[in-house]
A = this chain, B = another copy of it.
Amino acid sequence: MFGFINPHTFASHFLHNLPSLKPLTSLLIFLVFQDVHVMIFIGFGFLMTFLKRYGFSSVGVNLLLAAFGLQWGLLMQGIWHMDHGKIKVNIFKMINADFSTATVLISFGAVLGKTSPVQLLIMTILEITIFSINEHLVANILEANDVGASMIIHAFGAYFGLAVARVLYRPNLRNGHENEGSVYHSDMFAMIGTVFLWMFWPSFNSAIADPGLPQLTAVINTYLSLATCVLSAYAISSLVEHKGKLDMVHIQNATLAGGVAVGTCADMNIDPFGAMLIGFIAGIISTLGFKYLSPILASNLGIQDTCGVHNLHGMPGILGGLAGIVAVALGKKNGSASMQAAALASSLGFALIGGAITGLIMKLPFWGQPPDQNCYDDSLYWEVPEEEEENEGSLAPADPSKNKAEA
């Protein structure tokens, strides 16, 4: 019991036996996870509420897809990481499950208003399955860096969704649809989504980073990239719009491109300047994409991208992948530039091919796809309340279907 002690053995004994540090760390990572959770359920959900008559579907179907997708994502992760034949759940896997749903919610944005919940559930199953194959390839075979998932979530989700949108092309809607626009209050609801995404993106990009300095670096780089991205998005929006006005579509979306684009490099030693440069460029290309590229995709290529995910997730995701190649080549983090390039190519390839096949399956005629004239309209899938009448204060019985307790 008493005797000489080897300090090093003793030290490792102590560090090993510190009773509360490991659960403390898990609880701390759980709180980072909560930020990611807010991005998935409030962020993505409300960002898509900009349409005048599609708010119930945006936030409601977002909840359905994400809650279903995270369970499917846990299952898909389990395939690679079995533990005595059982799938164990921990906070790290919960983060990855939320990540896997993010791909679906991005693709959802490309086909918003033109698909039924059943079609979207099928997309969820297929997309998360394909995502987990690509993710395994990128992370474990290629061993590429992608801490904030510019490639494996953002570029993947965007091009997957665009491929689906191409297959589901609706020629009758090539001149737009009456309901495919916002009203004042729907744009305000969308800003709730935008701002929560913007604020919590540093948590997203750092959630699975190595603890310690890499994690803090991911926080700081993302924070700086997003801050400069706001400036370039506002500046370009004002430059390209009539009379120097700002366009809500740009502000709701392009201000976030900096978070997407800095993802791959987030935990790298790219200095504040590097992060800010990436964010600045992302804000420019995203805004220009909304203004000039989306109309071309719609009219020439038959890609009707409802939320403009190509501008928010697609191009900034590729920019992030390219920045990662350059940063690794410059030695900002250990890795191989060619493996980074392979990871980007793999993510795009799986997305386009997987999305096209998924789109064909979704096109089968028995999934309840909405007819053209009912697109962008909640009332096809939801009990929608009548509009407010102004004769307040009377005691006339309400329409019973609107009466919560007695419906």
Contact = CB atoms under 8 A, between A and B. Distances in A.
Interface in A31-59: 31-32, 34-35, 37-38, 41-42, 45-46, 49-50, 52-53, 55-56, 59
Interface stretch (A262-270, A332-340, A359-367, A371-379): A371-379
Contacts of A41: 195, 198-199
Q: Is the interface of A mostly helix, strand, loop or mixed?
A: helix
A286 interface: no
A15 B18 contact: yes
A372 B395 contact: yes
Interface string A1-44: 11111110011011101111101111110111011011001100
A85 interface: no
Contacts of A31: 28, 31-32, 35
Contacts of A398: 176-181
A383 interface: yes
B183 A220 contact: no
B393 A374 contact: yes
B26 A67 contact: no
B32 A27 contact: yes
B89 A272 contact: yes
Contacts of A175: 397
Interface residues of A, number: 146
A126 interface: no
Nearest to A271: B86
Q: How many copies does the complex hold?
A: 3
Contacts of A145: none
Interface stretch (A132-140, A228-236, A319-327): A228-236
Interface in A141-194: 172, 175-185, 187-189, 191-192
Contacts of A212: 20, 23
Contacts of A27: 28, 32, 211, 215-216
B187 A56 contact: yes
A81 interface: no
A131 interface: no
B383 A248 contact: yes
Given A30-B202, A295-B405, A295-B406, 15 more contacts: A3-B4, A24-B25, A27-B32, A27-B211, A31-B31, A67-B230, A67-B255, A94-B220, A178-B389, A181-B404, A184-B384, A245-B382, A249-B404, A295-B407, A308-B404
